Structure 1
Amino acid sequence: MKSMKGHSDIIDDEGNLFGVINIIDALVVVLALTVLIAGIGLVLMDDGESSSAPTTETTNVTIDLGTQPEYIVSQMSIGDSYSPSGNSDLTVTDIYLAPQGESARVMVRAELSAPYSGETIQYSGSPPRYGRQLELLTETYSAAGTIRDVGGGADLTTTETEVVVRANLSETDARRLSAGQPIRVQGREVATIESVTTYGTDNPDTKTVFLGLTLQSVAYGEQQAFGEAMVRPGASLSLPTEDGLIKGEITRVGATTQRGQPATRDVKLQLSNVSPLLANSISPGMTESFGGETVARVSAVQRQNATIVTRGQDGEIYERTHPINQDVTFTANLSVRETDTGVTFKDQTLQQGRVVTLDLGTVTIKATVISGYR
């Protein structure tokens, strides 16, 4: 009976808890508190999860896709996109083409979108570092390349860069070149020929051509690149034309003409100890000309028997007149360029004793400079 009395102290005969609250109402209050606490816990958990979720950021990269065939290049366009994983996206924002041999070298500018962590984005699991390989897979093509630049704007930094390129071409190919002629890669203009200067060589079938060009080059830091070549003197350059590939060497950067100011000089030249046939083949009025431009014009010509030096039976040295061969001295008006370091002809400095080559149409000669070069 004592146990029953203790129980009645907690719940009375009318079912009230401690004689104050009905037991049913108390259970309802407890259930409501339980639901409220559980709800607060869920809210706090959601807040914790959302605050720890990484944010998504973007950055721009330049990707060198190397040489690509025409059927790949024709499918590429700004806006192409690829998602290597659920939280990483790549979108092409700019495309650059340049020649490399007979193929096209392709650079693309792309925006990368990925979770931000560790002071950089984590594109497909790792940061977009210089030298990293990235893939570009679309419904119509696939390509892969190397990151060459990170950060900056959505467009590639391209510049019109002026250069002079020297190339040895056949006479037929040289005649096909003209100022204003565009250079195209996969139908896109990447350079323009601004000037053409052509000189004869030792071989009458070969011409040395100096091309003044404006290149659409792309910037890598402080350097400019055109295809696989860094734009600097001595670099090799390939230029596709409708009639074939021109392979040359950059001789000057920052201009489309050779060094110095154009001028003319009357230079005295000599051929020594040549056959009468060659001596008589040179006459006043002969010219080296190409495409309407005259490089050299012969004026006065003098001939005399050549002087030779022989050793007699007594061991002495004697100067004799050659019975057949001749020395030819002539004056030629040369198209030269005046530079800070001297006068040049065919991009070579004129000095006493320098041998110059003249293609006079019917004969090609190598003559030694005597005077008139200053």
Structure 2
Amino acid sequence: MPLIDDDGNLFGAVNVIDAIIVVVLLAVVVAGIAVVAALGGSESETRYATIELENQPDYVVERIDEGDVATFEGSGDSITVTDVQITPSAANEGNSSQPDVTIRTEVDGERIEDEDREEDQFQVAGNPVMLGNEIQLDMGAYATSGTVTDLGHDGETLSDAEGATTTRAAVELENVRPSVADGLGEGMSETMRGETVATVEDVESEPASIVLQSEDGNIYEREHPQNRDVTIVVELQTTETETGIEFRGERLGVGSSIVLNFDGMTVQGEVSAVE
């Protein structure tokens, strides 16, 4: 009996084209089994990630809030904002400041077992999520992106990790314009998302100093005709950590630079004392 007869049948029983299709399907199935065996399978998992969004425009700062959800087309995975931390930035000359934004999120993804790795891989919509990764977030009303700086199984918020406390600090503002010096007063406060984070308790000012050089090379220190050096004492809502006191996620101590925003007036100074 010929291998393939006049009707194109293999051994007179199976059509050659059908046989080729069966072989290809078997190869695909075997390859799929090999991939699953290598990865070890997957299962749904929830993790918690801190994402640094850094400088964000006002329209994002105004909209971002707890409960915002980013979904991914073709996937049941999602990222939900559970906590928001906003830190004002000092304005650069000629440019308005944009605050830094950090969010804590609940991430519903998949844990992928991989025999070739020491640790299983965590993925969202097929993309790995790990420290240092940049992640794109489409929240519907706005879109943004940021860098993953913490990823774990703990659902604590940004403020839960350390104990809340109150700290008094003296802040030196050097060579400020008269409009700023005159605009600062006791009782002024900075409020962030409905919570007061800084309150002015005392204000003192004196003429700022300028250094002049005469034609003969002598150096003289004189009072500035307008600008002032201002010292403000502020009560700050801070957190105690293992490494010290932090204000809005930044270390607070003598010599620290600090940015405060009182009713739209943004000032930057140096901490000279901490109580």
> Could you state the TM-score of these two structures normalised by the residue count of structure 1?
0.56
1:354 aligns with 2:259: no
Q: 5+ unaligned residues in a row in structure 2: which ranges?
A: 1-19
1:181 CA drift (Å): 3.2
Q: In the TM superposition, what whole-angstrom CA distance separates every residue of 1:126-159 from its partner, at most 9, and x where no partner exists?
A: 74598xxxxxxxxxxxxxxxx6873545xx3232
CA distance in 2, matches of 1:211, 1:151: 31
Q: Map 1:1-374 to 2 at 5 A.
A: 85-87=21-23, 114=26, 122-123=27-28, 127-128=31-32, 150=38, 152-153=40-41, 156-167=42-53, 168-186=55-73, 188=76, 190-203=78-91, 206-220=98-112, 221=114, 222=119, 223-227=121-125, 230-254=128-152, 255=154, 256-258=156-158, 260-372=162-274
Are the aligned partners of 2:77 and 2:124 in contact in 1 as well (CA < 8 Å)?
A: no
CA distance in 2, matches of 1:351, 1:237: 33
CA distance in 1, matches of 2:143, 2:165: 32
* Cα separation, partners in 2 of 1:180 and 1:149, compared to 1, 3 Å: farther
CA distance in 2, matches of 1:322, 1:151: 70
* Cα separation, partners in 2 of 1:149 and 1:277, compared to 1, 3 Å: farther
CA distance in 2, matches of 1:320, 1:87: 93
Which structure is richer in relative contact order (CA contacts within 8 A, separation 6 or more)?
2
Counterpart code for 2:141:
D
CA distance in 1, matches of 2:77, 2:31: 35
Counterpart code for 2:103:
L
Secondary structure in 1 aligned to 2:61?
Answer: helix
In the other structure, the counterpart of 2:11 is: none
Q: In the TM superposition, what whole-angstrom CA distance separates every residue of 1:157-215 from its partner, at most 9, and x where no partner exists?
A: 23211111121333332232332333322384512221122232235663322211111
Secondary structure in 2 aligned to 1:150?
Answer: helix
Identity rate, percent: 25
Q: 5+ unaligned residues in a row in structure 1: which ranges?
A: 1-83, 90-113, 115-121, 131-146
1:247 CA drift (Å): 0.7
* Cα separation, partners in 2 of 1:148 and 1:298, compared to 1, 3 Å: farther
Are the aligned partners of 1:229 and 1:236 in contact in 2 as well (CA < 8 Å)?
A: no
In the other structure, the counterpart of 2:3 is: none
Q: What is the count of residue pairs matched by the alignment?
A: 240
* Cα separation, partners in 2 of 1:86 and 1:283, compared to 1, 3 Å: same
> Could you state the TM-score of these two structures normalised by the residue count of structure 2?
0.74
Secondary structure in 2 aligned to 1:202?
Answer: coil
* Cα separation, partners in 2 of 1:280 and 1:371, compared to 1, 3 Å: same
CA distance in 1, matches of 2:249, 2:173: 22
In the other structure, the counterpart of 2:17 is: none
CA distance in 2, matches of 1:290, 1:244: 20
1:257 CA drift (Å): 3.0
1:353 CA drift (Å): 2.2
* Cα separation, partners in 2 of 1:206 and 1:217, compared to 1, 3 Å: same
* Cα separation, partners in 2 of 1:150 and 1:313, compared to 1, 3 Å: same
* Cα separation, partners in 2 of 1:248 and 1:365, compared to 1, 3 Å: same
Are the aligned partners of 1:196 and 1:212 in contact in 2 as well (CA < 8 Å)?
A: yes
Q: In the TM superposition, what whole-angstrom CA distance separates every residue of 1:265-290 from its partner, at most 9, and x where no partner exists?
A: 11111111122122112222222213
Which sits farther off after the overlay, 262-271 or 342-351? Answer: 342-351
Are the aligned partners of 2:68 and 2:139 in contact in 1 as well (CA < 8 Å)?
A: no
Counterpart code for 1:210:
T
Structure with larger Rg = 1
